[in-house]
Amino acid sequence: MRYDARANISPDEEFKQDIALFRKNAQQNYLGALIKFHYRRVEWSKTKLHRIKQLEQRKSNDEKLTKNKAHSTVREPKVNANKHEERIENIQKRMNELKQMMLKIQKEQNKESESYPNVSFMPTDH
């Protein structure tokens, strides 16, 4: 015969509030991490786009200076600058959506709660 012992205790309000607070903090930290990730990705894309533009500029300058294109030693990646601009715009749109989500969460957390006066009717010993 086997007996499974379980506590028959219902959670109190303080426990429920703590769990809700942990959940809200976890959501905020998750959104914060997503925002940081996308900021880094935007910065990385911007630097990559800048490098590509510099390479294109160098290539055009080299073509003007050299008569023979076969002697050119500059190699450039075959990447379309428009693709990177589209990616940057897409990431910026996502960042705006994340900001809106963060504002919504902050508004939900800043709800006003009514306070009630604490009146105790315990006699005092004098």
Report yes or no on 11 lying in a domain. no
Q: Is residue 43 part of a domain?
A: yes
pLDDT tens digits along 87-114 = 888 899 998 998 898 888 888 887 665 5
Q: What's the domain count of the chain?
A: 1
User: Who's near 63: CB < 8 A, 6+ residues apart?
Assistant: 69, 72
- Give the confidence band of 30 by pLDDT, cuts at 50, 70, 90: very high
What lies within 8 Å, CB to CB, of 24 at 6+ separation is 105, 109
Asked if pLDDT for residue 62 goes beyond 90, the answer is no
Q: Classify residue 10: in a domain, yes or no.
A: no
Is residue 123 pLDDT above 60, yes or no?
A: no
Q: What is the mean pLDDT of the chain?
A: 80
Q: Is residue 39 part of a domain?
A: yes
53 found inside a domain: yes
- Does the residue 120 lie in any domain? no
